[in-house]
Structure 1
């Protein structure tokens, strides 16, 4: 038993040690982290492979690895339709967003808002991003610590500081190059752990045909629920519309994504990286969903939560791994390494990005003098340490939250206020069990006779609003809006209020054509030449083009 435990910790220790060594190499051997471009963009000489792996790894956290299998097991496989929708997301990002941000070559993506609007909007958006990231990282840390705790019995508050210290260390001293290459290494651990779990799952459940049959009978493989009701938890429309908007945000305009695209030396490489990244992310989602299908096949006759073997559905994947891999020394440790790797990748990427955002959007603005490159590098490293410590301290707050997977200036403020109100109200109602989601049927007919049944749901005092939700009569209906539509609602409110204010209070402003996506830029140019130019006049001058921008926009 002690030998097995040693093997589990060895796999985990190996991953952590290699991450530290990469940080040491880029911090002390290849000492090129003394400028802003070196620390944040790797000198803009990064290659496609590590950037692609870094992007995938930084977007695949323990929330994904533990949350998606649980989502599929409890609510069905409708969520996996995002794998198909991914193709449309690639097209949108390539033709709308990437040309603009790569051409501008911004260190902070929020500088775009200052160029397009003004510095006030830039600072407010930067502040919101920094706060949201500080609130998100503790979730990323807590999830793998929870899995580690279930397998090793080590306390969550013992594990999280260790994970975070390692992450803060190599992120601080190594900059983007250390982050990118540790992401690539950690994605290897994550991929191997997922592959082993899937192979063992196939062996345990008896093959693909049995999985499909069991999940069809258990009503888990409903992929095209076409009901347009926005209050359903999962349907084709809540996933394809709501989740697509969220994904476009995270993949096209997220500071971490833009930072990595700009770190590549050519637009062609950035485009290739984007395609590989989004396809890879879709594959990860589908594979984690496949694990959820395997888990249901394995436990369709003995639900671990109802049988009392685990506390709640958050623990389904660690329980499954221990069940199918515990007899093979080192495999559960490799699985934990994969989960922790995903967390480290996400945390390090976010810390590196937020340090640049805070430095560029706040520190530089507040300083009344020019900051040297070496001083700037030191300031960003200090920011990484401070933000990292705050995130560790907030882990205790995350323990109180439920659910792994959820969760112009006037337009922005209105959007933030309304969505914050809905999210806060919904979370309070869910915590107090005034909103409860209906889960797919589970069984304990195959469990041992001596188990104690744990009833996981009690709908007393609630009414059934639709197929997916039971709700208290006192809860406003808007609180039951599908969580995938939070992004949809926020976008619509922001656009509506922003456009209304712009129409009521019109202003004259010059726009650099580079701030417009090529299709809009070309439309403006075509309209200009069609109505104001004659063939013999030649191409418009810069002044004439700027005038068109004022007229049309």
Structure 2
């Protein structure tokens, strides 16, 4: 195992100190609770857009996406193309409603549109999903780095968790946004360095593509309609689109940034730039994975037993190729730490704002501004400590990219369905929204737990060890089998068919691609919401405020309301006069 030099540790510690000092700087300049949550709604486009990118690009992308590409090929890169049209839905259907309502959290909208019950059902689900997500983004790089570099696991988790909790709890949204800017540049620099160095070492892009084709990883798009195939055009464009709209349009960590902008037009621009930024980062992550595969195309460290998990491939590559350059491994590892810090701080700040605005303020509405500010900071610190504890438990969750998107589908999918009902189905009532939320969550949980008992098994291109100096021993062969099980992948198509044929009838539903979970759960919520609303009496058009509807729906809905009012208007005496008298 390669180890880090003193200079590497110095760079990592320096990055953590800079992040902490940014929090101190904004804590000193903080003026009010509004400043803490929304930066007094005076943030400009550039930092908000970069923060949106950094929030989305977590350690899951920095380490998990290259691992996904290394194992399965570059199909996941098609997700980047979704960023060209997904912002259209977000900026014209979601942002106008939330921004014009002048709310602090997106869950306040749910009480305005439905009732307190719906608000707290969605709130509880998002709390659970948020904490699990933060545990994953802290644990993932810590484990990968500790295994490959010798960096102590406990130190890594505590360093990320404590520093993030410190600057987030004292500095608020401004500290989170500006640390995101700093950390985003660290991530970009790290990815570019890895791609350039790897490409040069293998002899250029053309040689890299030749090796990818030789390894069966030159297939960019798969139009197969089978929903059990891990990555296809359809799973990415249907499931991926739902996932991105759900994340960018309804998650507090994103909506909070839109609400912090100076104007609605700035919020829209920030959403566009931020989403395009995530596309760039995602393409860099895909290029990193392809570069690493080309580098190890005849001596896979996973198969040979050098590493035990796919998400260790990036730090292993860092140490392998840059060990002779003092300080460079530390710089690249700082990028992984930054990926965790940016995502944890964003979710932690959003959860603290939720707890403050949706719980504390609801129970104690007359609390003074100073007391409220202190309470929220204490809540943020406590939630940070809970996240650190959960990070130590995240080891049971398996493949990080798949797990993260699956958890998002379970908790975020039904919540997304509730927002669809609120924004696009004017006559949906609170009973329908509540039942839809519960039903969608139960279906999502059922599918996820089923996939743990009957994991999807997908065909993957082969990994080679023909160029390794030593033959595989029994230990590494056994390890490879364990890894293949963990990833739920095999390289032999006949084996896939054999395993699936031996499973009990009815379990095929558990093999659905993880990308579809958000879509399925949201669809269940919407269908149940419409049916229950119809059975329990639709909302009367006059009872729904058009400001709570997506603009495209509100325009036609206002006409409908006017028609109803005209029909319900009592007749005037002149209505009964002969035409000649009128």
Calculate the TM-score normalised by the size of structure 2: 0.86
Candidates 473, 477, 490, aligned match of 1:454: 477
Candidates 376, 385, 389, aligned match of 1:380: 376
Alpha-carbon shift at residue 465 of structure 1 (Å): 9.1
**Structure 2 contact 3–149 (Cα < 8 Å) conserved:** no
Moved more, 496-505 or 142-151: 142-151
| 1:440 paired residue number | 461
Q: How does 1:188-337 map to 2 (within 5 A)?
A: 188-337=185-334
- CA distance in 2 between counterparts of 1:31 and 1:517 reads 34
Answering whether residue 396 of structure 2 is matched by residue 400 of structure 1, we say yes
What are the ranges of 5 or more consecutive residues in structure 2 without an aligned counterpart?
Answer: 404-432, 570-582
CA offsets 1:1-23 (integer angstroms, 9 cap, x no match): 99970111121111111111111
Alpha-carbon shift at residue 152 of structure 1 (Å): 3.5
Moved more, 419-428 or 237-246: 419-428
| 2:112 paired residue number | 115
CA offsets 1:62-119 (integer angstroms, 9 cap, x no match): 1111111111111111111111122121212122212111111210101111111111
Distance 1:437 1:91, change over 3 A: same
The number of residues matched between the two structures is 525
Q: How does 1:389-428 map to 2 (within 5 A)?
A: 389-407=385-403, 408-428=433-453
Distance 1:532 1:506, change over 3 A: closer
Query: Please, what is the CA RMSD of the aligned residues?
Result: 2.5
- CA distance in 1 between counterparts of 2:113 and 2:377 reads 29
| 1:501 paired residue number | 532
3-state SS of the aligned residue for 1:249?
A: helix
3-state SS of the aligned residue for 1:400?
A: helix
Alpha-carbon shift at residue 507 of structure 1 (Å): 4.2
Answering whether residue 521 of structure 2 is matched by residue 524 of structure 1, we say no
| 1:473 paired residue number | 503
**Structure 1 contact 437–469 (Cα < 8 Å) conserved:** no
**Structure 2 contact 253–346 (Cα < 8 Å) conserved:** yes
Alpha-carbon shift at residue 469 of structure 1 (Å): 9.6
Alpha-carbon shift at residue 262 of structure 1 (Å): 0.6
- CA distance in 2 between counterparts of 1:2 and 1:421 reads 42
Distance 1:2 1:125, change over 3 A: closer
Aligned structure 1 segments of 4 or more residues deviating by more than 6 angstroms: 1-4, 462-469, 528-533
Answering whether residue 11 of structure 2 is matched by residue 11 of structure 1, we say yes
**Structure 1 contact 52–274 (Cα < 8 Å) conserved:** yes
Candidates 518, 523, 529, aligned match of 1:487: 518
Answering whether residue 153 of structure 2 is matched by residue 164 of structure 1, we say no
CA offsets 1:346-394 (integer angstroms, 9 cap, x no match): 1111111101111111112223x50111111111111111111111111
Alpha-carbon shift at residue 223 of structure 1 (Å): 2.0
- CA distance in 1 between counterparts of 2:369 and 2:452 reads 44
- CA distance in 2 between counterparts of 1:40 and 1:469 reads 54
Distance 1:307 1:496, change over 3 A: same
- CA distance in 2 between counterparts of 1:21 and 1:481 reads 45
- CA distance in 2 between counterparts of 1:245 and 1:444 reads 39
| 2:413 paired residue number | none
**Structure 1 contact 69–293 (Cα < 8 Å) conserved:** yes
**Structure 1 contact 69–289 (Cα < 8 Å) conserved:** yes
| 2:415 paired residue number | none
- CA distance in 2 between counterparts of 1:190 and 1:122 reads 36
- CA distance in 1 between counterparts of 2:198 and 2:554 reads 51
Distance 1:383 1:371, change over 3 A: same
**Structure 2 contact 194–318 (Cα < 8 Å) conserved:** yes
3-state SS of the aligned residue for 1:303?
A: coil
3-state SS of the aligned residue for 1:406?
A: helix
Answering whether residue 540 of structure 2 is matched by residue 515 of structure 1, we say no
CA offsets 1:205-228 (integer angstroms, 9 cap, x no match): 211111222212322122221111
| 1:547 paired residue number | none
**Structure 1 contact 223–236 (Cα < 8 Å) conserved:** no
- CA distance in 2 between counterparts of 1:412 and 1:532 reads 32
- CA distance in 1 between counterparts of 2:517 and 2:159 reads 34
- CA distance in 2 between counterparts of 1:111 and 1:469 reads 51
Alpha-carbon shift at residue 531 of structure 1 (Å): 9.7
**Structure 1 contact 437–468 (Cα < 8 Å) conserved:** no
Moved more, 91-100 or 486-495: 91-100
**Structure 1 contact 147–336 (Cα < 8 Å) conserved:** no
Alpha-carbon shift at residue 54 of structure 1 (Å): 1.1
| 2:430 paired residue number | none
| 1:95 paired residue number | 92
**Structure 2 contact 121–437 (Cα < 8 Å) conserved:** no
| 1:104 paired residue number | 101
| 2:421 paired residue number | none
- CA distance in 1 between counterparts of 2:2 and 2:517 reads 48
What are the ranges of 5 or more consecutive residues in structure 1 without an aligned counterpart?
Answer: 534-540, 542-553
Moved more, 495-504 or 435-444: 435-444
- CA distance in 2 between counterparts of 1:152 and 1:478 reads 40
- CA distance in 2 between counterparts of 1:355 and 1:390 reads 12
Alpha-carbon shift at residue 339 of structure 1 (Å): 0.5
3-state SS of the aligned residue for 1:405?
A: helix
CA offsets 1:497-521 (integer angstroms, 9 cap, x no match): 1111011111445111111111111
- CA distance in 2 between counterparts of 1:215 and 1:124 reads 47
Q: How does 1:116-195 map to 2 (within 5 A)?
A: 116-195=113-192
- CA distance in 2 between counterparts of 1:507 and 1:532 reads 17
Distance 1:438 1:3, change over 3 A: closer
| 1:23 paired residue number | 23
Calculate the TM-score normalised by the size of structure 1: 0.90
Alpha-carbon shift at residue 450 of structure 1 (Å): 4.5
